[in-house]
Amino acid sequence: MFDPPLFVITFRRLLVWLVLSSVSFRALVAEEAAPKTGGKGDYQVQPGDMVRVQVFQEPDLDRDLRVSQEGEVTLPLIGRITVKGQTLSALEAMIRELYDRDYLVNPQINVMIVEYKERKINVLGAVNTPQALNFPPEQALTLLEAISRAGGFSRLADRKKVRLTRTAPDGKRVNFVINADELMTGNQGQSWVLLVDDIVYVPERIL
């Protein structure tokens, strides 16, 4: 049988390598572009969250627990632990260590959020539907989006003097006056992403 020349074999191998490399590259790009779901992420547990703690092959130890205002939950055998501010991965590691220390051999722990704390902001004043708005922790809500969800500005709204009231980390209330007209035209440097318990107040124009 006639054998192809060496340069033909080399060319074929190079062609196969290029095709495989292209497929791998496209798969990598698709993986990076796809939204990351199902991981433990960086979410930090907060008071009011409902967490599910599961211990592999120990169903009597499984619990759905509401995090107290002090940021604590109570687990079988272990007792009360502080979970506020912990990521789910860090919480799994902590619970695994506590069970492994005195009660179980190499326990496998899974922690998930089954119900997030209600995140609420208030939109008041000259909007068509003043109300309290809820939004999930994975969703950012801007000032303009909140006003839109509250029915938009009323006919008498003073869009240039929208007031945002926010509680600072030290517990003090801080007020910001925001020109919503500039926000809508993109002339402001920030979009004013809202935080839990923010109050948005739209005053009426003085006629």
Write down the pLDDT at residue 136. Answer: 72
Write down the pLDDT at residue 197. Answer: 87
Residue-wise over 110-128: b if at least 16 C-beta within 10 A, else e? ebebeebbebebbbbbbbe
Decide which of 37 and 164 is more confident: 164
Write down the pLDDT at residue 11. Answer: 53
Interval 172-182 mean pLDDT: 92
Of the pLDDT bands very low, low, confident and very high (cuts 50, 70, 90), residue 190 is confident
- Residues of the chain above pLDDT 90, percent: 57
Where is average pLDDT lowest: 40-44, 84-88, 157-161? Answer: 40-44
Span 34-67, pLDDT tens digits: 333 334 667 889 888 999 999 999 999 999 999 9
